[in-house]
Amino acid sequence: MRLQLSTPQDRKLQKTIQITGSKSETNRSLLLQALFPNVRIENLSNSDDGEVMQKGLKKVSGEVDIHHAGTAMRFLTGYFASQEGKEVILTGSQRMQERPIKVLVEALRSLGASIEYVKEEGYPPIKISGKKLEKDKVSLPANISSQYISSLLLIAPSLKNGLELNLVGKITSVPYIKMTLSLLEQIGVTTSFEGNTIKVEPKDMVQDTTLVVESDWSSASYFYSIVALCEVGTKIQLSSYKKNSLQGDSVMAKIYKDFGVETTFGDHTITLTKTSDEIPQHVEYDLSNAPDTAQTISVTCLGLGMGCHLTGLHTLPIKETDRLAAMQTELSKFGAKVDIDAESLTLQPTSSLKSGVAVDTYNDHRMAMAFGPLAVKTSFKVNDAEVVSKSYPDFWNDLGTLGFEVAEL
Ligand SMILES: O=C(O)C1=C[C@@H](OP(=O)(O)O)[C@@H](O)[C@H](O)C1
Ligand SMILES: C=C(OP(=O)(O)O)C(=O)O
């Protein structure tokens, strides 16, 4: 699907949007529910990633295809490895077969798991023969993906003696690890995280608990960007959100103050208001705790004619696409000057945006959604725009609701 995006007639928007549940909280909650069936879940994500996770958890044998969903790939690896009697081949899209899984496989093997690579060593697909895992201590590198750590933590309470993890190296995407621990605590599991050591106590049964998934803050980031690019007075209300979020991307509320956007927390809502046009020429952020917002922020800066230096981006090359390379290519199409290295992106201020551009999306939902808000400033095309369904299937409809002209070509 190729879309033509055109500037909304009114650049002082006033609207309310309901956003689907966080895909990260959803996929953790679904796994916990599979282990402890008396856990209930509200406000599940309607994303592709949530759907493949739900389907995957129901399988006991055969092939499980999780498409592009990193969390489903990593969380189901731990799950099936610890499920005696289940035997599956866990696979995914071509890109998923290029996203590394070795750190997690080695950690699970050292706990006693039986996992074999079907094609290339270190990458999916993998054949998993579920077993009771007897060991309770493991060390693993923590600087590549926090999803490996969350995968182990999620199965930890179901292991006979629980689990002690020793994290080696600089820990990346820390809020996602804390989110996992918070959800475990919510269902009554005892955990601790001190220095580089995480401990999870075993638990046979949990009390009836309802996990209420907060809406997705990474999805909210695109509305922060829209408000930042619109006129002073623009007000967009989003639900259902809370102040004490488990999601690290809630840092948007703080970061977007720099772009003149104020956040007001209401009863399960946030209201984003553009209050000021006075913005700095250049901003710098370390996004190692909120990697999924890097694309959003760089497009906001492009649209506002600002420069930025974003660091802590070492995980971006192994996500849905190599996001650093993809951003450099796509930002440059609009006339931007962009430099990247292994962990950072630097954008020079761009005074006028080129028009007639077609943005490529690289099977990456965030490439499409990050550029969407730029339609406030200029008209352009988005190729393969359906990619948004990975985390936010209603994205283009919601942009239409705001008054953007979204036409299928
Ligand atoms: O645990 C999670 O739900 C996630 C962790 C992050 O990945 P990394 O830990 O690989 O950075 C993030 O980018 C991803 O979208 C979701
Ligand atoms: C990196 C992402 O997803 P995942 O790793 O779960 O595929 C994302 O949604 O930005």
Mean pLDDT by 10 residues, the chain (409 residues): 91 89 98 98 98 98 98 98 98 98 98 98 98 97 98 98 98 98 98 98 96 98 97 96 97 98 97 97 98 98 98 98 98 98 98 94 98 96 98 97 94
State the ligand closest to the CA atom of 142.
1
| Residue 390 CA to ligand 2 centre (angstroms) | 9
Sequence-ordered list of residues with C-beta below 8 angstroms from that of 117, at least 6 positions apart, any chain: 105, 123, 125, 126, 127
Q: What one-character-per-residue DSSP string does 247-298 give?
A: -GGGGHHHHGGGGTEEEEE-SSEEEEEE------SEEEEE-TT-GGGHHHHH
Output the CATH code of domain 23-212.
3.65.10.10
Q: What are the strands, taking DSSP E only, across 97-246?
A: 114-117, 126-129, 137-141, 163-168, 191-194, 197-200, 209-212, 235-239
Instruction: Note the pLDDT of residue 5.
Output: 96
| Residue 150 CA to ligand 1 centre (angstroms) | 9
What digits encode the pLDDT tens for the residues 121-176?
999 999 999 999 999 999 999 999 999 999 999 999 999 999 999 999 999 999 99
Instruction: Note the pLDDT of residue 10.
Output: 80
Quick check: ipTM above 0.85? yes
For ligand 2, whether the C-beta of 71 sits within 6 Å is: yes
Cβ(362)–Cβ(320) below 8 Å = yes
For ligand 2, whether the C-beta of 316 sits within 6 Å is: no
Q: How far apart are CA 150 and CA 155, in angstroms?
A: 9
Instruction: Note the pLDDT of residue 341.
Output: 98
The residue whose CA is least distant from atom 5 of ligand 2 is 70
The residue whose CA is least distant from atom 2 of ligand 2 is 319
Please tell me whether the overall predicted TM-score, pTM, comes out greater than 0.90 for this model: yes
Query: Does the annotation place 339 within a ligand binding site?
Result: no
Q: How many CB atoms lie within 10 A of CB 55?
A: 13
CATH 3.65.10.10-classified regions of the chain? 3-21+215-408, 23-212
Instruction: Note the pLDDT of residue 355.
Output: 87
Domain 3-21+215-408 has CATH 3.65.10.10: yes
Instruction: Note the pLDDT of residue 377.
Output: 95
Instruction: Note the pLDDT of residue 109.
Output: 98
Instruction: Note the pLDDT of residue 13.
Output: 80
Q: Is 292 a catalytic residue?
A: yes
Instruction: Note the pLDDT of residue 313.
Output: 98
